[in-house]
């Protein structure tokens, strides 16, 4: 697969793959929040949870899916919160980027322990511990069957890891961006606080922006819309959830451009 060539498969192929129980996508980006990596803990990483996610990613790669990841850093440090407490925003955001590098290295370790060759590419050069981000290099790694973990966000303050995920998914010409969260889709309000929250099966990018739904920040939604990348929101806490959504099964909400 040449760099810069879309990996999208048409609707007929997608239907055939779904009927065969095979993944519907050839290349995807999995976005996981740092908070999800805590598992049942109050902070830090839950090694068992990280290992389970790594195992599911490895299984996806074994089916022929090319996988890249973006992992947040909120389990270690959240820049916006620090800025709200008086720290200069740019400094806080750079600290948050460093937290994503730590999480990315932890995921790399778990993936390679599961038998999945992995490369961490950082938007902030750190040559002693990971590779610098180069788009063509990232594409080549995935073509060779390696998992690529994008670290340090976009490398710039004032941008979230959601925006970084949308940017990398666009650059990699991903068929879809999978957002693994603590809930099984997009709701009109927080289901943890409102037991009557309504879950959506499908939305457009425009719906998300108009309804101000807290799926991703506006920049990430707009970037995904402009590049026609569907966003699939599912529960990463559900064992096997990633594999199910790749096959079009399980519970999830899909955000996509109108037909």
| CATH number reported for the structural domain that contains residue 71 in this entry | 3.40.1160.10
Express each pLDDT in 93-118 by its tens digit. 999 999 999 999 999 999 999 999 99
**Dihedral class, residue 120 (left if φ above 0, else alpha if ψ from -120 to 50, else beta):** beta
Let me know if residue 236 belongs to a domain.
Answer: yes
Strand, helix or coil at 100? helix
Determine, yes or no, domain membership for 160.
yes
Domain carrying residue 188: 11-202+209-255
pLDDT score at 106: 97
The answer to whether residue 1 sits within a structural domain is no
**Cα gap 232→186, rounded to integer Å:** 9
- Phi/psi at 185 (5° precision): 155, -165
Domain count, the chain: 1
pLDDT tens column, 165-188: 999 999 999 999 999 998 999 999
pTM equals 0.88
- Kindly report which listed range (86-90, 139-143, 148-152) carries the lowest average pLDDT score: 86-90
Q: Is residue 3 part of a domain?
A: no
Residue 2 within a domain:
no
Tell whether 251 is covered by a domain. yes
Torsion (CA) 88, 92, 94, 98 in degrees, nearest 10:
160
**pLDDT exceeds 80 at position 203:** yes
């Amino acid at each position: 697969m040449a760099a810069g060539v879309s990996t999208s498969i048409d609707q007929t192929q997608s239907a055939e793959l779904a009927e065969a129980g095979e993944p519907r996508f050839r290349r995807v980006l999995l976005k996981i929040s740092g908070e999800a990596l805590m598992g049942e803990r109050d902070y830090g990483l839950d090694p068992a949870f990280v290992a389970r996610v790594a195992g599911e990613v490895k299984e996806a790669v074994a089916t022929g899916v090319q996988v890249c990841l973006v992992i947040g850093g909120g389990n270690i440090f959240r820049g916006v919160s620090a800025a709200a407490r008086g720290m200069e925003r740019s400094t806080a955001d750079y600290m948050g980027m460093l937290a994503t590098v730590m999480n990315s290295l932890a995921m790399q370790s778990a993936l390679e322990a599961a038998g999945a060759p992995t490369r961490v590419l950082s938007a902030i050069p750190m040559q002693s511990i990971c590779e610098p981000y180069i788009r063509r290099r990232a594409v080549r790694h995935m073509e060779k069957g390696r998992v690529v973990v994008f670290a340090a966000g976009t490398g710039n303050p004032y941008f979230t890891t959601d925006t970084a995920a949308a940017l990398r998914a666009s650059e990699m010409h991903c068929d879809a961006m999978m957002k693994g969260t603590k809930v099984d889709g997009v709701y009109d309000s927080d289901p943890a606080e409102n037991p009557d929250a309504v879950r959506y099966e499908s939305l457009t990018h425009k719906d998300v922006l108009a309804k101000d739904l807290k799926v991703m920040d506006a920049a990430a939604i707009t970037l995904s819309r402009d590049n026609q990348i569907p966003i699939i929101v599912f529960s990463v806490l559900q064992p096997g959830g990633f594999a199910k959504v790749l096959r079009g099964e399980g519970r999830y909400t899909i955000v996509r451009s109108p037909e």
